[in-house]
């Protein structure tokens, strides 16, 4: 098993921008963008991303690792990529075999969808289902959101649970 994703694996939106804009790259083949938001998967998402709520990842991990074994780059994000994005990336990386880890890189999109939509909301090649009203309300209420720093990445238990987190 590999170590949890480190802060060096965080990438700026420009990296993902280049992939999505590059018409020679195929989502799901050349790269995979994974949105681990759950009930808050509203207001839009990165074009071509797979919505996979974090709480579903441990249960689905074996099938997903097999299904996406040939994808060389994965990018995880959530709302701000402070918690769920890095945790999703860590769960994925921890589930990789040594062979898969050697050929598949796992990253976290810095700033998550909040930063992405601020920068690219006008570009329909980069953002799908954008809801301007949602983001105006979010901005007005953003002081109600907390910011976290991850110090203890989720470790999968032998039963597939995430440190006692429940669904």
Domains plus CATH for the chain?
A: 7-144 (3.40.250.10)
Paired sense of beta strands 45-46 and 127-128, if any: antiparallel
CA 36, 144, 153 angle in degrees (round to 5)?
A: 40
**For residues 92-118, average pLDDT:** 92
The alpha carbon of 74 is separated from its chain's Cα centroid by a whole number of angstroms, namely: 8
Residue 152 has pLDDT above 60, yes or no: no
Provide DSSP, 98-114: HHHHHH-EEEEETTHHH
Q: Tokens 């990018």 belong to which residue? A: 75
Residue 80 has pLDDT above 50, yes or no: yes
pLDDT tens readout for residues 18-66: 999 999 999 999 999 999 988 777 778 888 999 999 999 999 999 999 9
pTM > 0.95: no
Residue 148: per-residue pLDDT: 43
Q: 3-state DSSP helix/strand/coil percent for the chain, to nearest 5?
A: 40, 15, 45
Residue 122: per-residue pLDDT: 84
Residue 3: per-residue pLDDT: 47
Between residues 107 and 152, which one has the greater pLDDT?
A: 107
Paired sense of beta strands 73-77 and 105-109, if any: parallel
Residue 68: per-residue pLDDT: 96
Alpha-carbon distance 11 to 111, whole Å? 9
Residue 150: per-residue pLDDT: 45
Between residues 60 and 146, which one has the greater pLDDT?
A: 60
Residue 144 has pLDDT above 50, yes or no: no
Residue 160: per-residue pLDDT: 52
- Is residue 111 a contact partner of residue 76, using CB atoms and an 8 Å limit? no
């Amino acid at each position: 098993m590999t170590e949890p994703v480190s802060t060096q694996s965080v990438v700026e939106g420009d990296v993902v921008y280049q992939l999505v804009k590059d018409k020679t790259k195929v989502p799901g083949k050349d790269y995979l963008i994974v949105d681990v938001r759950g009930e808050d998967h509203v207001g839009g998402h990165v074009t071509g991303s797979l919505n996979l709520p974090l709480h579903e990842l441990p249960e689905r991990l074996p099938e997903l690792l097999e299904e996406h074994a040939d994808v060389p780059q994965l990018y995880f994000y959530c709302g701000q990529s402070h918690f769920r994005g890095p945790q999703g990336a860590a769960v994925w990386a921890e589930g990789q075999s040594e062979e898969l880890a050697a050929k598949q890189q796992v990253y976290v999109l810095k700033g998550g969808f909040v930063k992405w939509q601020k920068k690219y909301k006008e570009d329909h090649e980069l953002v799908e289902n954008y809801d301007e009203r949602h983001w105006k309300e979010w901005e007005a209420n953003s002081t109600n959101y907390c910011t976290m720093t991850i110090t203890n990445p989720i470790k999968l238990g032998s039963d597939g649970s995430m440190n006692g987190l429940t669904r």
